[in-house]
A and B are shown apart, each in its own frame.
Chain A
Amino acid sequence: MMGWVRVSVVAALASMTMSCAASLGWQWAEPQFVKAPDAKKYDGHDAVYLLREHRLLMYQEWGKDSYTERQRHDVVAILTEKGFRYANFRIIYPNKNSDLIAFAARTINEDGTATPLEPEWVFDDEVKGDENGAKVRVFTFPNVKVGSILEVQYTLRDDYVDWYEAPFVTTNIPIEKYNLELMGTKSVRYSVNAYNIEEGSEWKTSVDGDYWRLQWQMNDVPASKGGERVEPRDFREPWWMFTALAYQSSANLYEIHKDWDSTVRYRAKGLYDEDGEYYEGFDAEVDDKDCTNKKCQVQAALDFLRAELYFNWFRSGMGRKAKEVMDSKKADNWEKNRVLWELLRRKKIESLFVLTNRKNYVSFDKEQPHYARLKHLLLWVPKQTGIEEGFFVDASCEFCTVGQVPDWARGEEGFVVSVEKEGLSTENTYKGEWKKIVGAETRPDVAHKDYAVTVDAAGKLTAKMKQTRTGWGAQWWRSARRNQKADAAKREAEGMVNRRDERGKLISDSRYSFVPDGSEGERTIEFEIPDYGVLDQERLIIPLSALDTPFDGAFEKKTRDKPIFFGHTATWSERLAVRGPKGYAPTILFPSKSIDAGAVKVDVKVRTEGDVVVIERSVHHREGTYLVSKYEDIRNAIELYRSVDQGAIVFAKPVSEPLAPSAAR
């Protein structure tokens, strides 16, 4: 059973010695790795890696050319014809200066003979003109059949040292044997960890002449597989991370990713725009003439960003230049906060960049510093004249007001980076401090639908549905549909009507509208469904299946082997008011009920208001990862929620029995 196991190796200080430049050799796989696999074991898969080897050699010596060699060695057994896709191979070089210094491929036939790859079936090509350039080698294995074993090994060499690698071990198909070997000159000091691996798995360390060597392996790695409400992949599938802490060059020790200060140094230089390029041509101005204090000015800047830059999702890069961001009228989380920083700076409001992660979305190891592991950005506005107490602000939250922090950041730790000048130095130095991100709660994420339904004596249903969203949901709606054309909006409304009942006809739809602070949006659609009610002798049965629900088909499987993951807290609710035909009255209802399963809380309330039946249901899920043992409770709660749209209400003429919860359900 895999667990979140972290196996770590940090290099001891090695003595500096001169070394000879080495290169990774290669050889075909040992015979035990080119034998037909047990097909039963891999039923359901199109291919299996019998062997997957990843080798990395880092050479760094004072006065000599540095380089990195990356070697991949794959042995793949083809189990089905759909697995033939593994026979078409592309080697993408990391950049245009990469050299392919070793390459071999062959098909091992079922009878054990090997068919070599002929050179005429190997095609080399390149991308020209691009700043980074790229090269590619394309080939296909010969004589491939179900039962063939394909073997390829290649080594790429780059004229720099690779300071960071963090790949997943898992692939789309299972791996029988995974071997990792990392080597480097003793001048390179490193840290390496593996995550989500078998307990007891260990790194083997050794010294080979002037090189250190790390070896690690896994057996029987299952295929990467997603699923309903599962955690992000780096919380549950094996991966490893290598970082160079420092390297010794002559008498100097150069820190690279030794600690958080050193690793974020270059990113901080960019964020604080040391070279003055990021904000070139940026001329946006915030109208805050009515503000009498700095907090108001910060709020005005947030309002400006909400109006001018639609949010287009979370990313982890440094973003486009500010002018380009403004021209495009959309921005990601980094871009929004970088623009905010400059807007505040121009108002003489100091703010500091905070590197962090969104809650539940990134597996983060504070003990192994690397800036790339901090994927979200926000700002800390420290105490200063006009601001009595510092606060965090995240411009990617469009429904936040000053002082509020969105769920995705609240409670996380952030690395607050400040700029300092040391002594008489003209160069900036960047230092960071971990701080817990705090702030007031925002308006919650609630999606609500309010249905006003009438059913006539012929069973025709007419409904008016008002849909509202608040909090994060409203922000997402606004971003996703900001440019929605009338046609597309109508098609979406039709889709909503027909998703649960194909007979439905859209009568009208309104466009989305939003309150000025972005925290709430709404729209209304009207529809009808002919012959919807079922006439059964003197009764009219109104199924509730036309209710559109976000939990259609959710948690249907009776058992589960992965923890249940809710990325954020949200509420989905509906209120349904059903009026029957004149002269009819509701006769059979189903009972009100609530279940609080921890991760999920469900309420179903049923009552009558005169001749109108009112049903309210809601499901509230709380962010977090929940053990498999909680699955049944969660499933039962969701089942209760869904029981409404799987049920019906019954009207009768004349009123024939007292209104009471039915024992029939």
Chain B
Amino acid sequence: MLNESDVPRFLLAFCCLALLTHCRTAPFSDLDRSNLPKPDDHPEVDAVELVRERIVEYAFDSGAPIAMTTEHRTLVVLTEDGQNLGDFATTYSEFTDLISADVRITTPDGKHKDYDVSKMTDFPLIQGYVLYDDARAVSLDVPAVPVGTVVETRVVKREKKPSYFVDRFSFGGHYPLRRASFRVFEPEGWKLDHRASKAWGPYEMEPRVEAGSGGRWLVWEQSDIARTKHEDYAPSVWDLVPMVAVRIASWVDDDGAPQAEFDSIATYGQFLHRLQEGTAKPTPAIRAKVEEILKDAPKDPRVRAQKLYDWVQENVRYVAVEVGMGGWRPYEAAETFKTRHGDCKDKATLLKAMLEVDGIESYLASLYSHGGTPRKYLMPGLGQSNHAILAVNLGDELVIADPTTRTVPFGELPHNDQEAELLLVKATGGELYPTAQSTEQDNVKRLSFDLTAEASGATKGVVKLETTGQFASSLRYNLVATSEESGQDEVRGWAWLYDGDVKNAKFDEAYRDGRLVVTAQGDVTMDEVGRDVADVRLISFAEIMVTPGPKLPPMERKFPVVFRRREHRDTTIRLKVPSSWEVSTLPEDQVVESPFGRYTQSWRLEGDTLVAHGDYRLKERRIEAARYGELEAFFGEIIAARSRPVVVRLK
């Protein structure tokens, strides 16, 4: 058997490619079945991964660095639910040549069947949010495999621009993993950057160094890695497990001269700047539109920037087309202006061009738009961000603006962009800049009900809703993007009533202290307020409306609980009761205090009106697993408090 370190793998791969249809044999060795895991060993998982291996061999070829990558994975199917794990897919793009893809399915009787790329389907990889993408995938659908089947896959690719990208490898996942190995070949005279991390924080994991022909191997290995089990409100698996990232810091060309694409975040920013250069040029048509928009605008640059931002938000439809470098290079502002559609970087680029017309400087900026767990730039390189926004330099302040959002006002950011590491792309160099976080004082939802009950329990009245921060943006989107009729339904949804309807809703929006406030008001009808049981009526928050915060089950928690935002929900109910109702019992005032938030609740009888007030504040967005018990108790006590009823005797 050839030693991987003796012969560059990519040479072997090229030979295989050339002889693909004639002499190629499946690149798998005989399987040792003596030590395979059994279903009883792992009753809670569908499979065990025996091997996950990635080999990256950097080399200099035809005047540029390339990388030959080999991914090898072996897993054993342990349950019927795992029977589709024989299916296989891998992607490639303009930056990647797919050299080979092989799958071997070995059934429990020891027989195996091999599939190569000629038996696979090759299709355009158009993801949900993208209109068109030139990336492709090859996939193989195999019939359901019996329990005990071993599935082996081996994929060889040639990366054509590895100096642009960061290569990453994760140690862990949904299944137990017996052996994970990441081997990277560093040619002599080259310098590779590498960094281990876990949950985007520092992680101690140094590579083993092995000598190789013409360079050295850096090897990271781990064995017997437990699976990462899903937990509600936890970050995704890939935001939890250890990871190693590697990139080419510098290489030597044929003449032995050192070369580098970028060596720091600063030069990476310059690289992006060059990539995007010239796309934000204002055209006469753009200039004319800017003049039209700012015709009566005051001189305050913030107001002027806001007007231009509002125009892009409102008039450019989100459409993503990613061809070649199109994932990073925007369409020219002129094109986006003409078609009135574009993706995040197109919209940001058009806004940049419009701001430039008015003499306002701005910088494109990229970040990882997250679902609650921000990611960090582990090192310079493409593939670490998924979103582009704009940093607007107003002289005395830098406003981070996301014109892709439809309704988030200028000066605020959607929760996906908050607490993120933002890379400002400047001609002078990239700069990392932390985006702000919102607090419970920013994201406020106030509901107030003014109701009158009849003896039957039927209730009518008015509901008022006032929102700020992310609540306001979200409500505003639901109103501007839908029909009037659907907007009416929105208010019912936002009132969080279990039963009841809201009609004749009216909406308003205004800026108060520089902050968008969206309000609504509507007529409420409820067939019955509370619960008519025996000769009493029970009225509680839990009977009327949805409880804020989740119900968390008792469990041994391993991972943090992550919420999307800190928030404040305040509800007041004024319920005028009929004379035939006699309030028999009022629940005691409730105060639930915790480091994560606070809930207070009171019920009062003021004359013939029951007045209830519930105030919920979530001050923390991420709670570590060690404090799960406290968090569970916090929400449990809120649930209990809201279930305490007023007892009304029916005369």
The interface of chain A, by Cβ under 8 A from chain B, is 42-46, 79-82, 84, 87-88, 118, 121, 123, 125-130, 134, 136, 138, 140, 142-145, 310, 320, 324, 327-330, 482-483, 485-487, 491, 494, 498, 501-503, 505-506, 530-531, 534-537, 541, 543, 545, 556, 588, 590, 646-650, 662, 664-665
Asked if B585 contacts A664 (CB within 8 A), the reply is no
Q: Report whether A140 and B341 are in contact in the complex, using a CB–CB cutoff of 8 Å.
A: yes
Rounded to whole angstroms, the CA-CA distance of A486 and B40 in the bound complex is 13
Shortest Cβ distance from residue A546 to the other chain B in the assembled complex, whole angstroms? 11
Cα(A498)–Cα(B232), bound, Å: 16
Is A327 a contact of B122 with CB atoms below 8 Å?
Answer: no
Q: Which residues of A contact B406 (CB under 8 A)?
A: 81
Q: Within 8 Å of chain A (Cβ to Cβ): is B145? A: yes
Q: Given known contacts A129-B138, A138-B131, A144-B340, is B481 in contact with A81 (CB within 8 Å)? A: yes
CA distance A556 to B497 in the complex (A): 14
CA distance A227 to B225 in the complex (A): 48
**A80 with B482, Cβ < 8 A, contacts A88-B319, A129-B138 known:** yes
A534-B647 contact, Cβ under 8 Å, with A142-B339, A482-B80: yes
Cross-chain contact A127 with B485 (CB below 8 angstroms):
no
Let me know if B317 is at the binding interface, CB within 8 A: yes
Q: What residues of chain B have their CB less than 8 Å away from a CB belonging to chain A?
A: 43-44, 79-81, 83, 118-124, 126, 131-132, 138, 143-146, 229, 315, 317, 319, 321, 338-341, 406, 480-486, 499, 531-536, 538, 542, 547, 551, 553-554, 584-585, 636, 639-640, 643-645, 647, 650
Q: How far is the CA of A328 from the CA of B86 in the complex (A)?
A: 12
Name B531's contact: one of A327, A330, A485, A543 (CB within 8 Å): A543
| B124, A125: Cβ atoms closer than 8 Å | yes
CA distance A95 to B636 in the complex (A): 56
Q: Inside 8 A of A494's CB, which chain B residues have their CB?
A: 553
Q: Are the CB atoms of A502 and B542 closer together than 8 Å?
A: yes
How distant is the Cα of A651 from the Cα of B200 in the complex, in angstroms?
Answer: 57
Interchain Cβ contacts under 8 Å between A and B, 26 examples? A43-B484, A44-B485, A46-B482, A81-B482, A82-B482, A121-B339, A123-B131, A125-B124, A143-B340, A144-B340, A144-B341, A324-B144, A328-B83, A329-B144, A483-B81, A502-B551, A503-B643, A506-B553, A531-B644, A536-B584, A537-B585, A541-B647, A543-B531, A646-B532, A662-B535, A664-B534
Tell me if B483 and A541 are in contact (CB < 8 A): no
Whether the pair B650, A87 counts as a contact (CB closer than 8 A) is: no
A483 touches B80 (CB 8 A): yes
Given the known interface contacts A44-B485, A534-B538, the answer about A129 and B121 at a Cβ–Cβ threshold of 8 Å is yes
Partner of A648 from the list B339, B485, B534, B643 (CB cut-off 8 Å) is: B534
Q: Which residues of A contact B119 (CB under 8 A)?
A: 129
- B538→A541 contact, CB < 8 A: yes
User: Nearest Cβ distance between residue B313 and chain A, in whole angstroms?
Assistant: 11
Q: List the B side residues contacting A487 at CB < 8 Å.
A: 44, 229
List of A residues within 8 angstroms of B485 by Cβ = 43-44
Residues of B with C-beta under 8 A to A81: 406, 480-482
| Contact in complex: A80, B481 (CB < 8 Å) | yes
A505 to B555 CA separation, bound complex (whole angstroms): 12
CA distance in complex: A195, B395 (Å): 68
Assess whether A664 is in contact with B44, with CB atoms less than 8 Å apart: no
Find out whether the CB atom of B483 lies under 8 angstroms from the CB atom of A505.
Answer: no
CA distance A646 to B499 in the complex (A): 13
Assess A88 versus B80: contact at CB under 8 Å? Given A127-B123, A324-B144, A503-B643. no
Is B317 within 8 A of A84, CB to CB? Answer: yes
Known: A46-B482, A503-B643. A328 touches B534 (CB 8 A): no
Partner of A136, one of B124, B146, B499, B554: B124
B122 touches A82 (CB 8 A): no
- A-B pairs with lowest CB-CB distance, top 10: A648-B533, A328-B144, A664-B535, A44-B485, A81-B481, A125-B124, A128-B122, A130-B121, A127-B123, A123-B132
Closest to B140 in A: A129
- CB–CB A650/B534 < 8 A: yes
Pair B538/A328 contact, Cβ less than 8 Å: no
Shortest beta-carbon distance from B533 to chain A in Å: 3
| Chain B residues with CB under 8 A of A143 | 338-340
Structural contact, B533 and A543, CB atoms closer than 8 A: yes
Q: Is the CB of B531 within 8 A of A486?
A: no
Closest chain A CB from B476 CB (angstroms): 12
Instruction: From known contacts A127-B121, A646-B531, A647-B533, infer whether A330 and B80 are also in contact, taking CB-CB under 8 Å.
Output: yes
- B645 vs chain A, min Cβ distance (A): 6
Chain B's interface: helix, strand, loop or mixed, by majority?
Answer: mixed
B534 touches A541 (CB 8 A): yes
Contact partners of B482 in chain A: CB under 8 A: 46, 80-82
Q: A143-B339, A324-B143, A328-B143 are in contact. Are A80 and B533 (CB under 8 A)?
A: no
Residues of A within 8 A of B499 (CB): 556
Most buried by A among B80, B644, B650: B80
Q: Is the CB of A536 within 8 A of B647?
A: yes
Kindly report which residue of chain B lies nearest to residue A130, judged by CB atoms.
B121
**A138 and B643: CB pair below 8 A?**
no
Task: List the A side residues contacting B341 at CB < 8 Å.
Answer: 140, 142, 144
B121 near A128 with CB under 8 A, answer: yes
Q: Which of B122, B534, B554, B584 contacts A647 (CB 8 A)?
A: B534
CB distance from A660 to the nearest CB of B (A): 12
A649 and B536 CA atoms in complex are apart in Å by 11
The answer for the CA separation of A128 and B120 in the assembled complex, in Å, is 9
19 extra interchain contacts, Cβ-Cβ under 8 A, other than A502-B643, A646-B533?
Answer: A46-B483, A79-B483, A80-B482, A80-B483, A81-B482, A123-B132, A140-B131, A327-B144, A328-B143, A329-B83, A487-B229, A502-B639, A506-B553, A534-B645, A536-B585, A541-B533, A590-B534, A646-B531, A664-B535
- Given A503-B643, A541-B533, CB of A129 within 8 Å of CB of B317: no
| B544 CB, nearest partner CB in chain A, Å | 13
- Is A142 within 8 A of B340, CB to CB? yes
With both beta carbons as reference points, the residue of chain B lying nearest to A506 in the complex is identified as B553
Q: Closest chain A residue to B585 by CB distance?
A: A536
Q: In the complex, what residues of A have CB within 8 A of residue B123's CB?
A: 127-128, 130, 134
Cα–Cα distance between A128 and B516 once the two chains are bound (Å): 51
Alpha-carbon separation in the docked complex, A140 to B43 (Å) = 49
> In the complex the two chains form, is A486's CB within 8 Å of B484's CB?
no
Measured between beta carbons, the chain B residues less than 8 angstroms from A646 are: 531-533
Question: Using Cβ atoms and an 8 Å threshold, which residues of chain A touch B317?
Answer: 84, 87, 144
**Which residues on A sit within 8 Å (CB–CB) of B132?**
123, 125, 138
CB distance from B48 to the nearest CB of A (A): 15
Residue among A142, A534, A535, A590 with most chain B CB within 10 A: A534
- Which A residues lie within 8 Å of B639 (CB)? 502-503
Nearest residue, chain A, Cβ from B45: A485
Instruction: Closest A residue to B123 by CB, please name it.
Output: A127
Instruction: For the complex, give the distance between the alpha carbons of A665 and B83 in Å.
Output: 55
Residues of A within 8 A of B640 (CB): 503, 530-531
A233 to B420, CA, bound (A): 47
Q: How far is the CA of A494 from the CA of B552 in the complex (A)?
A: 10
Residues in chain B near residue A590, CB distance under 8 A:
534
Q: How far is the CA of A140 from the CA of B341 in the complex (A)?
A: 9
B79 touches A483 (CB 8 A): yes
> For the complex, what is the distance from the CA of A129 to the CA of B117, rounded to whole Å?
9
**Nearest residue in A to B547 (C-beta to C-beta)?**
A502
Q: Is the CB of A662 within 8 A of B534?
A: yes
Give CA–CA (A279, B250) in the complex, Å: 60
Say how far A69's CB is from chain B's closest CB, in angstroms. Answer: 25
Contact partners of A129 in chain B: CB under 8 A? 118-122, 138
Q: Within 8 Å CB of A502, what residues of B? A: 542, 547, 551, 639, 643
Q: Which residue of B lies closest to A532 (CB)?
A: B643
Contact of A43 among B338, B339, B483 (CB under 8 A): B483
In whole angstroms, what is the CA distance A44 to B534 when docked? 42
**A residues near B43, Cβ cutoff 8 Å:** 485-486
Q: Which residue of B lies closest to A501 (CB)?
A: B643
A541:B143 contact, CB within 8 angstroms = no
In this complex, the member of B338, B480, B536, B585 whose beta carbon has the largest number of chain A beta carbons within 10 angstroms is B536
Q: Which residues on A sit within 8 Å (CB–CB) of B536?
A: 536, 541
- Residues in B with CB closer than 8 Å to A136 are 124
